[in-house]
Amino acid sequence: MFSAFATAALMCFSDSTAFALSLRITSAYTQRKVSSGKFPIHSACMMPPQGHLTKVGLKGAEGMTKESEAWAGSLEALVESHLKSDGLAINSATNPLSTSASQDEIGGVIAQIQEKLGSLTPLMNKKPGRIAKSAYTLGDQVGMLPCSENSDILVFVQGEGQVLTAGRATMTFVVGGPAEGATVFVTMADAKTGEIVGLIKTYPGAGFLENAELEFGEELDCPLSIMNIGSARKNTKACGN
């Protein structure tokens, strides 16, 4: 679901996406109960990350399965490290913890939740401002995850990236064409109710695979501060002030 949506939004970047890339735009949207401090966030459950990379050459595009899996893992590790640095306790959605849930049972719940997020993603991308009004929810099935009991939020890390071969990059430079870059989403949901409580969207530029911290990590701290996440709460230094 996410891959189909993100591919349509990213493949051969639109003018608006290319503009966002050039300015390193990062957007953050927060549910009011979070931004007001009524719902403090001190723990998170990391959902399995999703990543999809496409290589574009002179003869067309092809998927990068192995590289996509590695990139998704690196994005998850990066987000997790920043959340930990803000004082959040981190669990994994695949961990049965003290329950008797099997990996198959947990996997089934995760698949259902990710499918629901996939159906919401196009709506949230179109009208992200409605997150503040509690307009989107994954449903209370999130409570079936073992980590839900010990977590304030579920965190979904999703990325869609496009890399160019040397030949394609040269042609793009000379005559124009597809750009290299990525779109990364960090979505947060209430671990008990499933309500979407936060969304961070950022657009790492060319070289995003070589230095994720530089291209994406630095763009993460300010939104986390604005969203009152952990000890980053109201930390104006995170926003360069």
Model confidence at 92, in pLDDT bands (50, 70, 90)?
very high
Q: How many CA atoms lie less than 13 Å away from 125 in the CB half-sphere? A: 19
Predicted structure pTM score: 0.85
* Domain total of the chain: 1
What confidence score (pLDDT) does residue 19 get?
38
* pLDDT score of 226: 80
Degrees, nearest 5: CA angle 134-125-143: 45
Name the average pLDDT for the chain.
85
Q: Which residue has the higher pLDDT, 65 or 26?
A: 65
Q: What is the pLDDT of residue 238?
A: 58
Domain boundaries, position 25: 2-239
pLDDT digits (tens, 9 = 90+) for 8-38: 334 334 444 443 444 457 889 999 999 888 9
- Structure tokens given for 12: 């051969």
The 10s digit of each residue's pLDDT in 93-134 is 999 998 888 999 999 999 999 999 999 999 998 999 999 999
Check residues 166 and 47 and name the one with the higher pLDDT: 47
Main-chain dihedrals φ then ψ at residue 198, nearest 5 degrees: -165, 150
Residue 209's pLDDT is 86
Which two structure tokens, joined as six digits, stand for 23? 């300015």
pLDDT at 24: 55
Top-confidence residue, 96 or 234: 96
Mean pLDDT of 74-87: 93
